[in-house]
Structure formats: structure tokens, C-alpha cells
């Protein structure tokens, strides 16, 4: 990419990566055909397709529509080669335990953003009556039957909330889950489960009450818009002094991110299903700290670092969710950012322009953040390992070109 272009125009956001994969897994809970619409065309969707096909499902991906036919008796053993490629595959644990009475899920891989232990997943299922263990590189859960329980999470983990809820919907009796995650993707999952016949109260709050039912039924469901992709376009506008209108995502889901941009000097207009961000001049430095929803999302932390690197003044970014996410800072410093890391804080003293070089993406959001940084650097910047970006951003390069970026994708011989 060649820096210096002012991005302007409009872009439409598809369904959320952090939702569609969990919804695909939830289709395991009901025999029959479930259809998901507004799905993002990203690499992780066919990866989840492989996981589900390995469990006996028939899965068709047709553009933004995914159709999943779950068999009468799914396999309980998730394929090692498919699961280990991405973290979200662990979300089959709850549905398989509830539907089959057993689940064997290889310990997953994914982004290099820090440790994400499964202890809360295990303890939640154990509270429901399952026995769990780590065996031969896989997490095994077994339960002749599940029984509702009172469960309190030490931290509002999104993954643990998802697995506990998808197990509890078929448990005998009532489950009360306290300190549950409140992310829009959790709400989306609960909405789909309710449409399948689940009984869930408190959706969107930190306490979920689930009354188990005997059986769930297939459904049709539209995936919620991707707030992280929408937020990325918002920061692209602000960083490049641009003017971008984003559709397909609720501004309520990115409220704090947009408020930070207002504080940085951007003009922000919101609509029912989208928003517009315009920045005239250099942004002002703003402090950030990542927190579970409704706090500032950790997945937008690289964009917060990117805008702070070129802002007027000094900003402090605090990472409270994933401890290794500051690996991104090393690559930003290669681009000339004046940054100092101190534990889970990074201090950025803004400079007017970054300097181009070769940088390497370590995860989905770091990859996108480095591309945005390259767009505000002098000269030509090359971002390597961009397969990470493909896992979370549909048609990323095409959308950037449409907005006026000078960018191309090339194949590099190893």
C-alpha cells in the first residue's frame, strides 16, 4: 500500500465473525436444517464448515447464506486437524455435550494474542453435571444428563458464556449464569436459540436465566452486523482524514469506539443501522482501556494504537483482556511509532507521519491495524502474513480500493 490517500465513500458490513461461527455450532442442537443469512465471506466460515461436516452435518456455503443440516445422531468427536486451526472451534463443546452426552474437542489454535484457558468452560459444564478432562491434546466432556445450576463466572468470558448457555438450554431444570458476557454476539446467539425453542431470560444483561427444554428445532436466522469490522472502517476514516459511511452495523454496538473518535476531533453521525465518520485535520490524542462489552473492545485495540501513533499529543492504551496483544506495538515501532510498553500499558507520543517498511501480522486485528498504519505512512508499506486478515475481513483489499486506497495484494515466493 502507498500512504497518503484520503479514504472516502461508503462500505457495507456483513455479519459478525464472532457470531456466525457460534451460530453454526449452535445448529448442532437441533436435528434438521438451519439457515443463516448475512454471513461474512471469510476464511473461518469454511473452516467451521469442515468441523461440522466432520461431526456428520451437511453444510452448504452459498455466498452470504450458510445452510446446516444436523443429523439425528451427530458425532461427538471434533476433527483434530480442523479444530486446531482456529480458536472459535471450541464453541462446539457445549452443543455436543448437551445433544450427545459427550464431546471430544481438540485444544484449538488461532491468533497469537495471549493465553485463553478453558478452565471456565470446564467448570461451567461441571456445574451442570458433566465430567471434563484434558486427554491426548483434547478437551473431553461427558454427561449422562445435564442439570440446571447456579453458575458465576470469575470473568465475563464470551466463549465460556456461549458454551454454558448452549449446554444449559437442553439441561433439566433452571440455570442461572451470573457475570455472563454481554457482547452483541452473545445476544445474537441467545436470540437464535430462543427462535429454536430455548427459554432464556435476561438477554443482554450480566445475568442469564435458562430453563432447559426437552428439544430444540431448526430455524432461520440473520447474523448480527460485525461491530469490529465497522469500527475498523471508522478508524480508517479518522486516521486518513477521510469521510466514510458504514452500513449494516448498529452504532449502539460501537458506541464507545465512536465516542473516542469524537473526542479525537472526528465528526460522527449515527443512523439506525450505520454511521458516518469524518475527520478534518490531525486527530487529537485520546486514552483507551480495553474492557468487556460495553467497554472498548480489545479487537479494536490495534486501531486505537494506530490512530494514537499519528495523533497530536500523548496517549496511554491499557490492555485488560489479552496480555500478548502488544506484540502489535513492535511492528508499529518498525513503522516509526514512538511507543513505550510498560506491562499492560503502552504510551504513544504521536508523530505526524509514519515511515514505510515491511511489517508482519500476528493476528486478524493486528493485520488490519498494520494496513491502516501503512495508509498513513510515507512511501510503500508491505504487510506480510495477511492470511490472518482473511479470517475476519471480507474483501478487505477490494473495499479499501473502493474507498480510494492505493493498495494491491501480491503473492510472495517463500
Residues making up the annotated binding site are 17-18, 87, 299, 321
Nine-digit cell string for 101: 452426552
| Selection from 313, 360, 318, 317 nearest residue 335 by Cα | 360
Quick check: is 111 catalytic? yes
Sheet architecture: strand order including 8-12: 8-12, 243-247, 274-278, 267-271
> Rounded to a whole number, what is the distance in angstroms from the first to the last CA of the chain?
20
Active-site choice (44, 62, 79, 111): 111
Instruction: Please say whether the beta carbons of 177 and 168 come within 8 A.
Output: yes
Residues placed in the known binding site for UDP-N-acetyl-alpha-D-glucosamine: 87, 299, 321
Residues annotated within a binding site for phosphoenolpyruvate: 17-18
Sheet with 65-70: list strands edge to edge: 58-62, 65-70, 32-37, 220-222
Torsion of CA 294, 295, 300, 306, to 10 degrees: 150
| Strand segments (E) across 256-331 | 267-271, 274-278, 288-289, 314-318
Distance CA 276, CA 244 (A): 6
The per-residue b/e assignment along 208-223, b for 16 or more CB within 10 angstroms, e otherwise, is bbbebbeebebbebbb
Active site residues: 111
Amino acid at each position: 500500500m502507498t500512504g497518503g490517500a484520503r479514504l472516502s465513500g461508503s462500505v457495507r458490513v456483513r455479519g459478525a465473525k464472532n457470531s456466525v461461527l457460534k451460530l453454526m455450532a449452535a445448529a448442532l442442537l437441533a436435528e434438521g436444517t438451519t439457515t443463516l443469512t448475512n454471513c461474512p465471506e471469510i476464511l473461518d466460515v469454511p473452516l467451521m464448515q469442515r468441523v461440522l461436516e466432520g461431526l456428520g452435518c451437511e453444510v452448504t456455503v452459498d455466498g452470504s447464506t450458510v445452510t446446516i443440516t444436523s443429523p439425528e445422531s451427530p458425532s461427538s468427536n471434533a476433527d483434530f486437524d480442523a479444530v486446531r486451526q482456529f480458536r472459535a472451534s471450541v464453541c462446539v463443546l457445549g452443543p455436543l455435550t448437551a445433544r450427545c452426552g459427550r464431546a471430544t474437542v481438540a485444544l484449538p489454535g488461532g491468533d497469537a494474542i495471549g493465553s485463553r484457558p478453558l478452565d471456565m468452560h470446564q467448570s461451567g459444564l461441571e456445574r451442570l453435571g458433566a465430567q471434563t478432562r484434558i486427554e491426548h491434546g483434547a478437551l473431553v466432556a461427558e454427561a449422562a444428563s445435564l442439570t440446571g445450576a447456579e453458575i458465576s463466572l470469575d470473568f465475563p468470558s464470551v466463549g465460556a458464556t456461549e458454551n454454558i448457555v448452549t449446554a444449559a438450554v437442553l439441561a433439566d431444570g433452571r440455570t442461572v449464569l451470573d457475570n455472563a458476557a454481554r457482547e452483541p454476539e452473545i445476544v445474537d446467539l441467545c436470540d437464535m436459540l430462543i427462535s429454536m425453542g430455548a427459554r432464556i431470560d435476561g438477554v443482554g444483561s450480566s445475568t442469564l436465566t435458562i430453563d432447559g427444554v426437552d428439544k430444540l428445532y431448526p430455524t432461520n436466522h440473520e447474523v448480527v452486523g460485525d461491530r469490529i469490522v465497522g469500527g475498523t472502517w471508522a478508524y480508517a476514516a479518522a486516521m486518513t482524514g477521510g469521510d466514510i459511511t458504514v452500513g449494516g452495523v448498529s452504532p449502539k454496538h460501537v458506541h464507545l469506539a465512536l465516542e473516542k473518535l469524537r473526542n479525537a476531533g472526528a465528526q460522527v453521525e449515527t443512523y439506525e443501522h450505520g454511521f458516518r465518520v469524518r475527520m478534518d485535520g490531525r486527530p487529537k490524542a485520546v486514552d483507551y482501556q480495553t474492557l468487556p462489552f460495553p467497554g472498548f473492545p480489545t479487537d479494536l485495540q490495534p486501531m486505537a494504537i494506530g490512530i494514537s501513533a499519528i495523533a497530536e499529543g500523548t496517549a496511554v492504551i491499557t490492555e485488560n483482556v489479552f496480555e500478548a496483544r502488544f506484540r502489535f506495538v513492535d511492528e508499529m515501532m518498525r513503522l516509526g511509532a514512538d511507543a513505550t510498553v510498560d506491562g499492560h500499558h503502552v504510551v504513544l507520543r504521536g508523530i505526524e507521519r509514519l515511515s514505510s517498511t515491511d511489517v508482519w501480522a500476528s493476528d486478524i486485528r493486528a493485520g488490519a491495524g498494520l494496513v491502516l498504519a501503512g495508509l498513513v505512512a510515507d512511501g510503500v508499506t508491505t504487510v506480510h502474513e495477511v492470511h490472518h486478515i482473511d479470517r475476519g475481513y471480507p474483501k478487505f483489499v477490494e473495499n479499501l480500493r473502493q474507498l480510494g486506497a492505493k493498495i494491491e495484494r501480491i503473492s510472495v515466493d517463500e
